[in-house]
Amino acid sequence: MLNISKTNTQDRGLEAVGEHERQGSYFYPLVFLVCASLRWRYICQNACLVILLPIALFACTGSNSSNSRADDKPQVVATSTIIADLAEEVGGDEIQLTGILQPGTDPHVYEPRPQDSRFLEEADLILYNGYNLEPGLIKLMNAAGTKARKLAVGEVAKPLQLDKGKGEVVPDPHVWGDVKNAIAMVNAIRDGLIKLSPEDKAEFTQNAQQLTTELQQLDSWITQQIQTIPPNKRKLVTTHDAFQYYGRAYRIPIAGTLIGISTEEQPSAQTVKQLVESIKKIGVSAIFAETTINPNLIQTVAQEAGVKLAPRQLYSDSIGAAESEGDTYSKMMAANTRSIVEALGGKYTPFPAETQKK
């Protein structure tokens, strides 16, 4: 699991600078004043220099060396939590990874913070989803004067095209819903990291292979789990349109969504009414809230349509918080599958524990 605070090189850097300033600004003048008040100024000044200079130099060297260890590693920045998790698995200890989005944050409407520009400017490689999943960060990345190579990891998957009406067709960014796409993303991350740091090729290749094996097992397991849902109940109604790839890959049609592929759009009263009527007509047994979206409106839809709101929310555009059951990509996909299977009357069997490393 990615611990963002541990990988935040900026904060670590600031800490080191602060320490250096404290040593440089206060310690030497203080000793100097004490010496002066004892009227041994000239003797003491020389003594101070002899004693303190090596200490100061040692202190500087000490903090710089810990800094340079971190700086020696390639600086990789990932936008979404899903990509950060995959990159952490593939990059391991060989990279210094910073994930910008925090677990549970909605990438569609994320407004970059001031420090995000700095992360992007100082990166050697930026891994982002693309297909406009994270418009705020893509805009910032293109505006920032960054030396980094930029890799649209999600765009290695062939997109589903969604008609937004009025002739506007856009690619659906939620490609990770099909685990086979996530495997392609892992390969793209591996190749991007090898280009960045060729000497770590063996490590990246091995990590990617290990993760791919786990994802292949996950892919088969999800297929098998969804098949346990009675065919007439195999219909998915979610809060926003993030499960088209999942639905196609695992053969569970998307019967309706409250919001489109971007959560920027707010549903109209008319949309809500149509969804309620459609749910009543097609007869789904449960509908789903999502962890990155306020559940109030989908709750209202469930009440008005007289259906159950599934007790477990789906992880749509972000992995779960640390220690939650969805705190890695694999675990998020397994948790979603469990939520769907249990709410729609299937027979859930846990994803084999030995393949879940965390």
Q: Which is nearer to Zn ion, 35 or 242 (CB)?
A: 242
Q: Which is nearer to Zn ion, 132 or 187 (CB)?
A: 132
Q: Which is nearer to Zn ion, 108 or 234 (CB)?
A: 108
Residue 68 CB, nearest approach to Zn ion (Å): 39
In this structure, the strands spanning 75-78 and 169-171 are: unpaired
Q: Which is nearer to Zn ion, 203 or 317 (CB)?
A: 317
Residue 305 CB, nearest approach to Zn ion (Å): 23
Q: Which is nearer to Zn ion, 172 or 214 (CB)?
A: 172
Q: Is 284 exposed, middle or buried (0-12, 13-18, 19+ CB in 10 A)?
A: buried
Q: Which of these segments, 88-96, 224-232, 311-319, 321-329, binds Zn ion (CB under 5 A)?
A: 311-319
Residue 161 CB, nearest approach to Zn ion (Å): 16
Residue 238 CB, nearest approach to Zn ion (Å): 10
Q: Which of these segments, 5-13, 51-59, 192-200, 314-322, binds Zn ion (CB under 5 A)?
A: 314-322
Q: What are the phi and psi torsion angles at 178 (to 5°)?
A: -100, 115
178 binds Zn ion (CB under 5 A): no
- x/- track of binding to Zn ion for residues 219-248 (CB under 5 A): -----------------------x------
Residue 140 CB, nearest approach to Zn ion (Å): 19
> Which token pair is 216?
């292949």
Distances (CA, A) of 282 to 231, 250, 259: 13, 20, 18
Residue 240 CB, nearest approach to Zn ion (Å): 5
Site residue total, Zn ion (CB under 5 A):
2
Closest to 314 (Cα-Cα) out of 345, 293, 290:
290
258 binds Zn ion (CB under 5 A): no
Q: Which is nearer to Zn ion, 160 or 242 (CB)?
A: 242
Q: Which is nearer to Zn ion, 88 or 317 (CB)?
A: 317
In this structure, the strands spanning 169-171 and 161-163 are: antiparallel
In this structure, the strands spanning 75-78 and 125-128 are: parallel
Confirm if 73 and 95 have CB atoms less than 8 A apart: yes
Q: Which of these segments, 53-61, 247-255, 316-324, 343-351, binds Zn ion (CB under 5 A)?
A: 316-324
* 332 Cβ neighbours under 8 A, 6+ residues apart: 82, 315, 319, 320, 326
**Hey, how many other C-beta atoms are within 10 angstroms of the C-beta on 127?**
31
Q: Which is nearer to Zn ion, 317 or 327 (CB)?
A: 317
Closest to 95 (Cα-Cα) out of 2, 178, 31, 183:
2
In the 8-state DSSP scheme, what is residue 79?
Answer: S
317 binds Zn ion (CB under 5 A): yes
Q: Where are the alpha helices (DSSP H) in 73-113?
A: 81-91
Give the binding site for Zn ion (CB under 5 A): 242, 317
